[in-house]
């Protein structure tokens, strides 16, 4: 409760949840004696989708090889502590409380966004827990994001880029998004570009053309080929025959292959084939095509029901999960449980997925403020001719779906916050 009270106070320090600028974060970091300058061997991960899976894969690979890792991700799914990982452990409640109070005192109530404040907290705590690797997931875009305060890194990783958060831009075009994410990556380093749509890749190349970093591009400098029981990864170092990863969806092989490319091509670390094989079969990425096989949620459904959770919330992610669900080749009905935040492109998201579910059950997202009301989301779903209805709670939705469709796949999607609330119930 103490941590929640502080987090609520921090939300009041600035009138906007997002206000793209580096001035406030740099001011606070200066007051904290610039801890970001003590961060060593940073890998910065930017993009629209796949960032969390890439970060989780990198963490698993480096730790399997015996290296220590600090990790900063955003947002968290089930608990705020998930954002801060230091030397093999997520931060404890006690340490988190002390850290937040310390930085709050130094900030002295000055204007700063929530994301900027908690980013400063990560840099401070990471500087006190020196690790072999710092993996940092960028927040909104990158150019003016609070994560873009480092003077050097060992790698920048560009994960798949698509349309999202366009309400924070002047025109909301993909050209603007690629510019914001790629134009200010650090030079004299290495840039790894994951599998992208061809037009997006062309835009990325234009934005990093003058960047002095060495470039590694999927399809040119590293690639893979999937087969029934695994995949073959290939780069200039050689080929590796690998098992399928512990993550569902072919797109996760794209993400993991990018992480493998990063780990193999940073020369100061000794990552071998056995490290990679072990790591990818252990990697976890909660809320990303997660199959719920045990827990409280199973009590609300029939044993033949399958519960899948994915925090997809934009068109690029919708295309990926549509491909996965279409490839299941199952005779089970797919009933979609949908909850979304208000600033998303709801029509485009549902339009992409409209041929996948037999019906949609629409919900408000519990414990959140800026979600689209279920009644409004219901109208959008029904405008595409999809049978749809609302439910009052996650548990009632699961019970009623199972009662009518005891053999169905229940697919929960639309928001990472929605996924987090469902996982908390489990």
Q: 345-392: per-residue pLDDT in tens?
A: 999 999 999 999 999 999 999 999 889 999 999 999 999 999 999 999
d(CA 188, CA 185): 10
pLDDT at 1: 83
Closest CA to 133 of 266, 239, 314, 18: 266
- 165-184 pLDDT, tens digit per residue, is 666 677 778 899 999 999 99
Closest CA to 181 of 14, 292, 54, 20: 20
Q: Retrieve residue 174's tokens.
A: 């993909």
d(CA 351, CA 385): 10
pLDDT at 162: 85
**pLDDT surpasses 70 at 61:** yes
Residues 181-195, mean pLDDT to the nearest whole number = 97
- 330-340 pLDDT, tens digit per residue, is 889 999 999 99
Bin 271: left if φ > 0, else alpha if -120 < ψ < 50, else beta.
Answer: beta
CATH superfamily assigned to domain 2-280: Mur-like, catalytic domain (3.40.1190.10)
Contact by Cβ (8 Å): 116, 28: yes
Q: Is this prediction's pTM over 0.75? A: yes
- 216-228 pLDDT, tens digit per residue, is 999 999 999 999 8
- Domain regions of the chain by residue span: 2-280, 290-425
Length of the chain: 426
d(CA 61, CA 226): 20
**pLDDT surpasses 80 at 316:** yes
Burial 52-61 (b: 16+ CB within 10 A, else e): bbbbbbbbbb
Cross-strand pairs, 42: 134
HSE at residue 53, side-chain half, CA atoms within 13 A, is 31
CATH number for the domain running over 290-425: 3.90.190.20
Q: What strands lie across the sheet with 155-158, from one edge to the other?
A: 89-90, 84-86, 69-72, 133-137, 42-46, 155-158, 190-193, 214-217
Q: Retrieve residue 309's tokens.
A: 């959770």
d(CA 105, CA 150): 24
d(CA 184, CA 150): 11
Residues 393-409, mean pLDDT to the nearest whole number = 97
Q: What is the largest CA-CA distance in the chain?
A: 60
Sign of CA dihedral 279, 257, 207, 52: negative
279 in helix, strand or coil? Answer: helix
Residue 369 to residues 49, 119, 148, 418, 421: CA-CA distances in angstroms? 23, 22, 28, 12, 13
* Chain mean pLDDT for the chain: 95
Residue 75: pLDDT band with limits 50, 70, 90 = confident
Contact by Cβ (8 Å): 398, 425: no
- 129-156 pLDDT, tens digit per residue, is 999 999 999 988 899 999 999 999 999 9
Q: Which are the contacts of 113, defined by CB distance < 8 A and separation ≥ 6?
A: 13, 14, 16, 17, 18, 19, 24, 146
The single residue listed with the structure tokens 């949840």 is 17
104 in helix, strand or coil? Answer: helix
The single residue listed with the structure tokens 């608990």 is 79
pLDDT at 2: 93
């Amino acid at each position: 409760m103490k941590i929640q009270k502080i987090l609520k106070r921090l939300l009041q320090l600035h009138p906007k949840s997002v206000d793209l600028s580096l001035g406030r974060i740099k001011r606070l970091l200066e007051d904290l004696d610039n801890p970001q300058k003590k961060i060593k061997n940073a890998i910065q991960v930017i993009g629209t989708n796949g960032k969390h899976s890439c970060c989780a894969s990198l963490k698993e690979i480096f730790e399997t090889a015996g290296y220590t890792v600090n990790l900063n991700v955003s947002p968290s799914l089930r608990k705020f502590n998930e954002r801060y990982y230091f030397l093999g452990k997520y931060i404890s409640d006690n340490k988190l409380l002390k850290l937040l109070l310390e930085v709050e005192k130094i900030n002295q109530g000055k204007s700063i966004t929530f994301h900027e404040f908690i980013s400063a907290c990560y840099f401070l705590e990471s500087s006190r827990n020196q690790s072999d690797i710092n993996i940092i997931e960028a927040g909104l875009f990158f150019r003016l994001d609070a994560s873009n305060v480092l003077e050097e890194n060992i790698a920048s990783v560009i994960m798949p880029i698509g349309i999202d958060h366009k309400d924070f831009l002047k025109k909301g075009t993909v050209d603007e998004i690629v510019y914001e994410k790629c134009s200010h990556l650090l030079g004299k380093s290495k840039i790894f570009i994951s599998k992208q749509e061809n037009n997006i890749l062309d835009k990325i190349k234009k934005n990093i053309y003058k960047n002095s970093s060495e470039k590694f591009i999927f399809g040119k400098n590293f690639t893979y080929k999937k087969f029934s029981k695994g995949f073959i990864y290939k780069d200039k170092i050689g080929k590796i025959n690998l098992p399928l990863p512990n993550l569902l969806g072919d797109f996760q092989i794209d993400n993991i292959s990018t992480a493998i490319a990063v780990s193999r091509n940073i020369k100061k670390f000794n990552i071998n084939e056995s490290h990679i094989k072990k790591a990818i079969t252990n990697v976890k990425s909660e809320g990303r095509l997660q199959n719920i096989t045990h827990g409280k949620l199973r009590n609300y459904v029939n044993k033949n029901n399958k519960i899948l959770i994915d925090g997809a919330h934009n068109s690029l992610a919708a295309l990926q999960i549509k491909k996965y669900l279409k490839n299941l080749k199952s005779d089970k009905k797919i009933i979609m449980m949908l909850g979304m935040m208000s600033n998303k492109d709801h029509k485009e998201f549902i339009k992409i997925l409209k041929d996948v579910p037999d019906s949609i059950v629409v919900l408000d997202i519990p414990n959140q403020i800026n979600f689209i009301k279920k009644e409004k989301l219901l109208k959008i779903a029904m405008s595409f001719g999809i049978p749809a209805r609302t439910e009052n709670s996650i548990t009632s939705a699961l019970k009623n779906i199972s009662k009518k469709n005891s053999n169905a796949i229940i697919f929960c999607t639309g928001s990472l916050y929605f996924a987090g609330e469902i996982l908390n119930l489990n």
